[in-house]
Structure 1
């Protein structure tokens, strides 16, 4: 005789299975809620950094407004070469130690003095009326500032212009040469040079002349720079003064194309700048930008703005190691400082206020900044609802399956 299961017993067993499934589903959904992912800290946690610790000290959170943005823009603006180095006079034709000078003497007829010279180092040529033009091989000015010439002897050249040296030599030849005329020229300039190094086609020492070469003239002389102009920073070192400017800013402002001085050092530096975009932004990546810098509004454009479904427009933050001089004295007590003296600062920007977009056009983004956008409070709720919806559909499917059996 075959045993038959009562329908009531089948229903009770199905309910027990359904109850077990529901309990598991609730447990899974609860576990999922506690494990909701996040791209970073919330707005509240970042704002609370004023009372939290980084390296044992508080981190300052600064609300950005037009005053703060204008102050930072002014503080980060590069000081031009015209203001730092000033405008110099053209290099004169003064003879200095190490220079080589050429001397030519013309003696009126009958030329008897220099006509007796011969051999290496002296070139003589008879001119009309038996006058004689004599060219003496270039003479290097020694470490004492002296040169030595036939019939003249040792004479000081350093510190004199070619015209002054001509007069000195002529005075010494009067009485021993017949109406001598003297011409002096600098053959090789060894003292008035500019050194050019870095990302240039050819590193070299470039001589300066009385023309008064300017910065771009010198860079052109060595073949220009090897990288894109907007990626190059030009540094000029003069004695103890070091001045830097983006090269494209130098090109745009003729006033910054200053005249150089002897012994200046010009360095072309290839310095790619970048900031990092994180959180609820259109792009999470390291974003390069030009040496001349960009503003916050430009930075937001390059990362495709904020994600509409996730971003909290009140939670736009810039994490930066800031120069204390840019904070107008508002430095947290015991603020940790790096070896270069900079301290950690968090700038907060509220993009829900339309006026802030004008502020963003002045706020400068600096190299190695971190631009972070926090999630909106509703984004977490949306995740939770999504998980519940998926769980509910799974339960319905399971229930239908059990009922069908």
Structure 2
């Protein structure tokens, strides 16, 4: 009888201790989250996800090139620019006293003629000639006209050698960072990326940023390959940077993993986000309690709630019930955004299991202590 009384006392003490201090858990339960609703004088709007809510919140980053990029067109592959190097060959129709060469030398070759910063080149006896902006054929005519008054019927050839004039820089997540000339095969964005060895990250998370003067445009790499209109013509001085998508969400609660999780695709649904962290923990999760916490811009919050009086960012809690007939479809269509927190509550019976485990463990410890005491 005394031993039973001791066990009863131990059980009572265990229940009191557990009731007073609580049990470990991964976060708030459903009732505690709902208690924070604006309807209950809290500071968050709690909204059940349906097709209307999904449409109102389906906002994705707006990426693209402005008209100045799209309308620029492809550069002529032979257009001469400041910094370019030219190779000139001049054939004179005289043998005894050529203007440029030695006696008997009718062909003169100027292999490395640099176009200066002002766009000019210097040719002996022809002087300074404007080269930038011209094609090799146009420059050939200009040189011919200058020399024609001094040597009979000169024949001139001009070849543009890839130089420092029409170049772009390619950096970031590419296989070969560097400065590359704009040549016939590399006059467009996709061709220049290929020239740099292609991207060194997964194409699904790669962004392409192009800066030109004071303007910048950014697109998804996959969109560049899918949409030919985004394959813009390049200009000298363009800066091309390949970057990894930095968007991420946080997964907490009864999921397979609790961490900050980067996006793996351009768009990410709630069901994909859950799958990305290993799904729901089948031993803990309550499929009726999947929540998405987000600070929503006022225009979207007003659309979701059917209001027009909200100002500034609003705290929103979106609720997904995967046990409903359309619950999986709603989770498949609802888009996760950068900075979201995806939280899955524990099933109610989990706390009971923890309580019973704690009680039985406490009583077992009391039995052990009682056995030791009676043995002594």
TM-score bracket for this pair, using the shorter chain length = 0.7 to 0.9
1:356 maps to: 327
Distance 1:270 1:395, change over 3 A: closer
Alignment size in residue pairs: 368
Deviation track 1:151-199 (CA, whole Å, cap 9, x = no partner) reads 2122222333222222222222234322222222222443322111112
User: 3-state SS of the aligned residue for 2:333?
Assistant: coil
TM-score with structure 2 length normalisation? Answer: 0.79
1:219 and 1:183 mapped to 2: Cα distance? Answer: 32
1:105 and 1:84 mapped to 2: Cα distance? Answer: 40
2:53 maps to: 68
Is 1:102 the counterpart of 2:108? The answer is no
Is 1:90 the counterpart of 2:74? The answer is yes
Structure 1 segment 168-247 matched on structure 2, within 5 A: 168-211=142-185, 213-247=187-221
Is 1:259 the counterpart of 2:233? The answer is yes
> Structure 2: which 5+ runs fail to align?
none
Say which of 370, 379, 394 aligns to 2:341. Answer: 370
Question: In 2, are the aligned partners of 1:246 and 1:291 still within 8 Å (CA)?
Answer: no
Please state how far the C-alpha of 1:307 moved relative to its aligned partner.
Answer: 3.6
User: 3-state SS of the aligned residue for 1:49?
Assistant: coil
Say which of 344, 347, 356 aligns to 2:318. Answer: 347
Please state how far the C-alpha of 1:349 moved relative to its aligned partner.
Answer: 1.8
Please state how far the C-alpha of 1:266 moved relative to its aligned partner.
Answer: 0.9
2:28 maps to: 41
2:113 maps to: 139
Please state how far the C-alpha of 1:91 moved relative to its aligned partner.
Answer: 0.8
Question: In 2, are the aligned partners of 1:174 and 1:180 still within 8 Å (CA)?
Answer: yes
Say which of 236, 253, 258 aligns to 1:279. Answer: 253
Please state how far the C-alpha of 1:212 moved relative to its aligned partner.
Answer: 5.6
Q: State the structure with more CA Rg.
A: 1
Say which of 286, 290, 296 aligns to 1:312. Answer: 286
Question: In 1, are the aligned partners of 2:144 and 2:156 still within 8 Å (CA)?
Answer: yes
> Structure 1: which 5+ runs fail to align?
1-13, 127-131, 337-342
User: 3-state SS of the aligned residue for 2:36?
Assistant: helix
Which has the higher mean CA deviation after the structures are superposed, 357-366 or 283-292? 283-292
Question: In 1, are the aligned partners of 2:185 and 2:191 still within 8 Å (CA)?
Answer: no
2:14 maps to: 28
Question: In 2, are the aligned partners of 1:152 and 1:173 still within 8 Å (CA)?
Answer: yes
User: 3-state SS of the aligned residue for 1:176?
Assistant: coil
Please state how far the C-alpha of 1:328 moved relative to its aligned partner.
Answer: 5.9
Deviation track 1:257-291 (CA, whole Å, cap 9, x = no partner) reads 43333322111224565433221223334445425
1:91 and 1:99 mapped to 2: Cα distance? Answer: 15
2:319 and 2:309 mapped to 1: Cα distance? Answer: 16
2:183 and 2:114 mapped to 1: Cα distance? Answer: 18
Distance 1:400 1:265, change over 3 A: closer
Distance 1:303 1:203, change over 3 A: closer
Which has the higher mean CA deviation after the structures are superposed, 376-385 or 324-333? 324-333
1:7 maps to: none
Question: In 1, are the aligned partners of 2:189 and 2:234 still within 8 Å (CA)?
Answer: yes
